[in-house]
């Protein structure tokens, strides 16, 4: 996969507006788009480091958390798929304790 995250997911609907914003760190010409699609649930450390400098990291990560079927194993908001599973589980546990 060589498309930028926004381009790759454009046909899948429901994308937030920031995916079309050229200020996305992953949209810069110097960035290898393939970094954001490691093809595994873990890894993507180089992409995560790029996300850390992106103004959209929080919204991007929340989008991926809310759309796991679309996000798949991509790197979004500094998280890989395994990271997002952990975050969801922690949030669910917190909700359970609060109920």
Residues interacting with ligand SF4, by CB under 6 A? 5, 24-26, 36, 50-51, 54, 56-57, 60, 75-77
| CA dihedral of residues 45, 67, 85, 82 (deg, nearest 10) | -30
Q: Give the nearest distance from C-beta 94 to ligand SF4 in angstroms.
A: 23
For residues 64 and 77, is the Cβ–Cβ distance under 8 A? yes
CA distances 36 to 9, 17, 53, Å, are 12, 18, 14
Q: Which is nearer to ligand SF4, 38 or 77 (CB)?
A: 77
Name which of 21 and 93 has its Cβ closer to ligand SF4: 21
For ligand SF4, the closer CB: 25 or 85: 25
């Amino acid at each position: 996969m060589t498309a930028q995250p926004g381009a790759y997911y454009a046909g899948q609907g429901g994308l937030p507006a920031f995916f079309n914003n050229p200020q996305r760190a992953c949209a810069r010409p110097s960035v290898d788009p393939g970094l954001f699609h490691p093809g595994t649930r873990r890894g993507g450390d180089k992409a995560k480091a790029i996300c850390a400098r992106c103004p959209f990291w929080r919204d991007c990560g929340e989008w991926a958390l809310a759309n796991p079927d679309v996000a798949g194993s991509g790197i979004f908001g500094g998280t890989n798929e395994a990271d997002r599973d952990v975050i969801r589980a922690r949030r669910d546990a917190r909700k359970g304790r609060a109920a």
